[in-house]
Amino acid sequence: MPERLTLWFRFLAGTVGVGAALVLFARSVPPSSIAFAFWVNVFLMVWAVLIRAGALLRLPPGYFAVSSRELRLHRLLGVPAARKLFRRLPTNAALKLRGRRDLARLERETRSAETGHLLVFAAVTGFAFWAGLRYGLRVALPYAVFNLFLNGYPVLVQRHNRARIWRIQRMALLKNPAE
Q: Measured between alpha carbons, how far is 13 from 21 in angstroms, rounded to an integer?
A: 12
pLDDT value, residue 84: 87
For 80, residues 6+ apart whose C-beta sits below 8 A from its C-beta are 74, 160
Rg (CA), the chain: 18
Amino acid found at 126 = G
Q: Are 14 and 50 in contact (CB under 8 A)?
A: yes
Domains: count for the chain: 1
- Residue span of the structural domain in which 50 resides: 3-175
The DSSP 8-state label assigned to residue 64 in this structure reads G
pLDDT value, residue 6: 81
pLDDT tens digit sequence for 151-169: 999 999 999 999 999 888 8
Helix orientation angle between 153-175 and 79-87, rounded to the nearest 10 degrees: 90
pLDDT tens digit sequence for 22-72: 888 888 999 889 999 999 999 898 888 877 776 777 889 899 999 999 999
Q: Measured between alpha carbons, how far is 44 from 117 in angstroms, rounded to an integer?
A: 9
Instruction: Dump strand ranges (E) for 46-139.
Output: none
